[in-house]
Amino acid sequence: MSKKAKLIIDNKDYEFPILGGSVGPDVVDISKLYSSTGNFTFDPGFTSTASCESSITYIDGEKGECFYRGYPMDELANKSSFLEVAYLLWNGELPTKEEWFEYSEAIKTHTMVHEQMKKFFDGFRRGSHPMAILTSVVAALSAFYPDSIDVNDLQQRQISARRMIAKVPTLAAMAYKYSIGQPFIYPDNSLDYTENFLQMVFAVPAEKYKVNKVFAKALDKIFILHADHEQNASTSTVRLAASSGVNPFASISTGFTSLWGPLHGGANEAALNMLLEIGDVKKIPEYIKRAKDKDDPFKLMGFGHRVYKNYDPRAKVMQKTCHEVLEEVGKKDDKILQVAIELEKIALQDEYFVEKKLYPNIDFYSGITLNAMGFPSTMFTALFAVARTAGWIAHWKEMYLDTKNRIGRPRQLYMGEKPRPFTELKDRN
Ligand code: CMC
């Protein structure tokens, strides 16, 4: 017998179906709540609301586990590649050898951007934050590729998605190069996806560039860890924007915008800045005290998560990767790493953090790692965005295939003025 939830309003009983997913908590289907009761639900921040059905990523927040299409994310991080994960997220299954060849070659055919796009960059002030540039140039892709913006055409959906996977790294590297006044470096399709990105960011025309294999492997892992994460703020933003039927590039650009915030993808930059500001293990107690003080807006950046009430599995892989990269650059005893390790140790024993189940999240160690590889902190969120593009496009496609999909339109609890008469300016004091 199917389960039902009973709701009593003004002594009247209402029943709502309870739906079960393949794993995870059941959900009460309240889609008929308003039509049957005249009430809405109130859930700021969507803490208890499933906004859609999804088959892409599953997080078990209590256990601290994350799965992409059923595969443990940490296993993918250690054994797969980012591009294969992007394929998996989009298609639902791992590629056969033949499918892999077709996909990886197709991505390579799209790595360059339209030459005219360079002029677009010229409009930005030098020194602009790479995310300020990226949020705009990704949306501008719709002006350059008008042949793939019809969201109702399956073929165009696929081409635009592949274009984004291929071009976002090129645009992210260009945004960086522009911000530091160096010439753009074209993609090199003889390199793999992540190696190519590294060369577009770090190569200069005056010198031969050799990809550091340890960095390439570490960055590829970091991309996998960031590729998707259920209905987070940026993914939900993409879904909401796309629900209006707007073109793919415009939809995905909203993900970049939402990701940029310090509580989301901007936390890696903020976490490194915080560790640098602490600077010395002796100062940790002072910052722990501040993080616990309700009157102080300071939070431990890289700590806490809406879903994980256990150690973030991404942080575990990240911590190991951090050690590998620091060893490669001869900074095993890096002072900032020592601050991070000690801060984590103290916080994990502190009653406040234990009680609230606040653990290090992916951003806690990613800043130190990326910094050691030579990325400035202003590029951290852009790197996150390169990876999350794979998740955004997968959710975007899933939304279009969902027959239950309707334009997103939340309700509100209105607390403003009741209807009142308007007085013309001439009759006012
Ligand atoms: N430092 C100190 N206290 C914290 C922290 C923190 N980092 N995170 C949460 N708390 C406290 C918070 O003040 C609240 O206390 P109380 O119940 O007394 O009011 C309680 O813990 C619950 O926190 P919340 O803010 O209600 O939780 P949330 O689910 O709304 O927010 C979060 C989750 C990630 C935004 C938040 O933990 C945070 O701001 N962390 C720091 C920023 C950060 O590291 N963000 C990266 C998230 S992971 C990458 C990504 O997915 O983008």
pLDDT tens per residue across span 198-220: 999 999 999 999 999 999 999 99
Going by the DSSP 8-state scheme, the letter that residue 427 receives in this structure is G
Average pLDDT, the chain: 95
The conformation of residue 80, written as its DSSP 8-state character, comes to S
pTM above 0.85, yes or no: yes
Please name the helix (run of DSSP H) or strand (run of DSSP E) that holds residue 15, with its range, or none: strand 12-19
Q: Would you place residue 129 in the very low, low, confident or very high pLDDT band (cuts 50, 70, 90)?
A: very high
Are residues 218 and 324 in contact, defined by beta-carbon separation less than 8 angstroms?
A: yes
Radius of gyration of the chain measured on its C-alpha atoms: 23
Q: Please name the residues in contact with 364: beta carbons below 8 A apart, sequence gap of 6 or more.
A: 271, 301, 302, 303, 315, 318, 340, 344
Mean pLDDT, residues 13-22 taken together: 96
If one residue of 306, 348, 362 were mutated to test the ligand 1 pocket, choosing by the most ligand atoms within 8 A of its CB, it would be 306
Contact indicator for 46, 237 with CB cutoff of 8 Å: no
Q: How far apart are CA 323 and CA 40, in angstroms?
A: 49
Judge whether 363 counts as a catalytic residue.
yes
Report how far residue 246's alpha carbon sits from residue 254's, in angstroms, rounded to the nearest whole number: 11
Residue having the nearest C-alpha atom to atom 9 of ligand 1: 304
- The finding on whether 358 has its CB within 6 A of some atom of ligand 1 is yes
- Which atom of ligand 1 is the closest one to the Cα of 232? 51
Confidence at 331, pLDDT banded by 50, 70, 90: confident
What pLDDT was estimated at residue 334? 85
pLDDT surpasses 80 at 1: no
Give percent of the chain with pLDDT exceeding 70. Answer: 100
Predicted confidence band of residue 188 (pLDDT cuts 50, 70, 90): very high
- Average of pLDDT values for 96-113? 97
Measuring CA to CA, which residue among 155, 156, 167 is closest to residue 109? 167
CA-nearest of 305, 307, 317, 320 to 353 is 305
Q: Is the CB of 267 under 6 A from ligand 1?
A: yes
Q: Is the pLDDT of residue 369 over 90?
A: yes
The single-letter code of the amino acid at 160 is: S
